[in-house]
Amino acid sequence: MKCPLCGADPAAPYLPESLSAYRECEECRLVFLEPRARVGLQAERARYLQHHNSSEDEGYRKHLMGPIEALLQQLKSRGLGRKDASDPADGANCLGLDFGCGPEPVAQLLLQERGYPCLNYDPFFAFEPELLQRHYDFVLCIEVVEHLREPGLAWQLLHRLLRPGGILVVRTELLDAKIDFPSWWYRQDSTHICFYRERTMHCLEERFAWSAMRAGESVWIFTKDEV
């Protein structure tokens, strides 16, 4: 079975018989769940509706602010955004996309409060495919990449959505040698089917000629080449 992210062949079984549906790519080190063991689309959508991620939930807002603050530092350093976020007449000179926004677009609200306009796309809850024909100064991908059924195609899309010099912010829990994968809470979510390592992130950096930096335990920033 080929790796769904980098296309390397073969991807070897990752765990013994009890969790034999997981495989690991020897090239990019992605660990992924075979298609035969994944939940269906209706069950996936139902699982997302159980999350109750709301703008009223202070804990959830704080959870989002880690990647958003990392993004804002990058945007401000480039002079992008409002000169005066308190002045509605002062138009922003950048536009972003929250890719995989979920049922309630809280990230959009947090960004707009700080003067950064952001659109929303989600295959279940904000399906507007025309937004995928545009280009953006930044794309947010918060707790999304672990759900991707076709990660290779999805990462290509994320690359194409960025303008030259654009910023992609990804938040996902990374798998490392200290984690006991069978009991890992992140694996136990039935909709989590792709697990990334630090090596995986650097493989993506090389593949798309991005500049990558780790901006926290679970946050990565990729910058597209200016050319």
Average pLDDT in the 158-178 region? Answer: 97
The pLDDT, as a whole number, for residue 136 is 97
Taking the alpha carbons of 124, 220, 222, 108 in that order, is the dihedral positive or negative?
positive
pLDDT for res 88: 46
91 band by pLDDT with thresholds 50, 70 and 90: low
Q: Tell me the average pLDDT across 178-201.
A: 96
Alpha helices in the chain (DSSP H): 41-49, 58-77, 106-113, 151-161, 198-208
**Spatial separation of the C-alpha atoms in residues 135 and 157, rounded to whole Å:** 11
Q: What's at 77, amino acid-wise?
A: S
* Distant-in-sequence, close-in-space partners of 223: CB < 8 Å, separation ≥ 6: 74, 165, 166, 167, 168, 210, 211, 212
At residue 169's C-alpha, the angle toward residues 164 and 170, to 5°, is 130
What would the mean pLDDT of 32-52 be, rounded to a whole number? 92
- Note the pLDDT tens digit of each residue in 93-151: 799 999 999 998 899 999 999 999 999 999 999 999 999 999 999 999 999 999 999 99
Distance CA 117, CA 34 (A): 38
Number of other CB atoms surrounding residue 178 within 10 Å: 5
Handedness of CA 31, 37, 39, 41 (dihedral sign): positive
CA dist., res. 141 & res. 131, Å (int):
15
User: Domain spans of the chain?
Assistant: 11-223
Contact present, 66 and 219 (Cβ < 8 Å): yes
Residue 198 is classified by DSSP as: H
Q: Which of 4-13, 35-44, 127-136 has the least mean pLDDT?
A: 4-13
Using a 10 angstrom Cβ sphere, with 0-12 exposed, 13-18 middle and 19 or more buried, the burial of residue 26 is: exposed
pTM of the shown model: 0.92
Task: Indicate whether 90 pLDDT > 70.
Answer: no
Assess contact for 85 and 112: CB atoms under 8 A. Answer: no
Question: Which tops the pLDDT comparison, 20 or 67?
Answer: 67
Who wins on pLDDT, 70 or 91?
70
User: Averaged over 147-165, what is the pLDDT?
Assistant: 97
Q: Does residue 184 or residue 12 have the better pLDDT?
A: 184
**Amino acid occupying residue 51:** H
pLDDT at residue 208, as a whole number: 97
pLDDT at residue 207 above 90? Answer: yes
Return the sign of the alpha-carbon dihedral for residues 51, 160, 25, 123: positive
Does the structural domain 11-223 have CATH classification 3.40.50.150? yes
